Amino acid sequence: MTPTKFSAVCAVALRNVFYYAETISGPLSRRDNVILEREGSSADLEPDHVEEVRNVGITKASSCKRPHFDEASGSSHSSEPRGHEVNAETVAQHRPLYVYGSLPGEEWPLDLLKLLVEHVASLPPGCRVRPHEAIALLGWAELPDPDGAIGRRVRYKLHSIRNQLAKGVDPLAGRMRPGRMAKKTYNWRVWLQKAFLQLPNQEGTLNDLAAVLEADPDIAPKLDKRSDSTKVAAPRWKRNVSHTVSSIPGVINTGQKRGRLVIYHYDEEAARQLGERGKPAKVPKHRVPHMGVHDN
């Protein structure tokens, strides 16, 4: 076959492919038509070569099925079976549920969390977590999970529970009811001021203050006893104590230590004076003549 005939064969093959592609996806662009015009036409071919090229083009284009448009639903779908298909309605129905953890910071219901804790506690030492068994235990095996959201959520929770049990922390500690924890009112400054007044010489470490708060029957039920991820086997409320104590009026760092903890001292008179003085009032701009702004 001469180079001219070979070029013409390629041109006709491209023309056939683009023709059937046009019937599926729409009209060809101007750039595609220009390419066909530059490559040549089928006029230079013999009839046998033309028929051969057309058959090749039909064979390549026959693998593409034209999608069927449903006028009732306004959507198009292919006539070929896709195998396993996920029901979009079922997925949309279950998406807002806690099963998928769609909301940020969403906690597990208490009854389901107990099932996971019992499942992890029953595993032999050194055994890997079994998300599939846990999903079946929770009754979620039949729920659609096209993107693996359920599997990731359950696997992460199983690892978290196992790490807490290894540290001796109860994963159920601090859970008051199913779902989110009850909203509580915290006033750490007032609580810590009262705790300082109960200590000898009104001074002590963070552990001393924590012991006073835990012994108070009114404050103890409000403390968040869930484990803190940033510390080993430490509840979250102790982090609030360490962050708040230095900002209380009248509390000073003595510079002394008891063990590895700093000793703080609370001066009640200094706290009273600071409370009476309060914050300085903000001066409006029209009352600042030295800045070039005067009253009208």
| pLDDT tens profile 258-281 | 988 999 999 888 887 776 554 555
Band (13; pLDDT cuts 50, 70, 90): confident
User: What single letter denotes the amino acid at residue 181?
Assistant: M
Most confident of 18-22, 119-123, 235-239: 119-123
pLDDT at 86: 42
Among 231, 223, 221, 199, which Cα is nearest to 212's?
Answer: 199
| pLDDT tens profile 83-93 | 334 444 444 44
Enter the tokens of residue 24.
Answer: 């599926």
Contact 108, 119 (CB under 8 A): no
Dihedral in degrees, nearest 10, Cα atoms 189, 178, 153, 223: 20
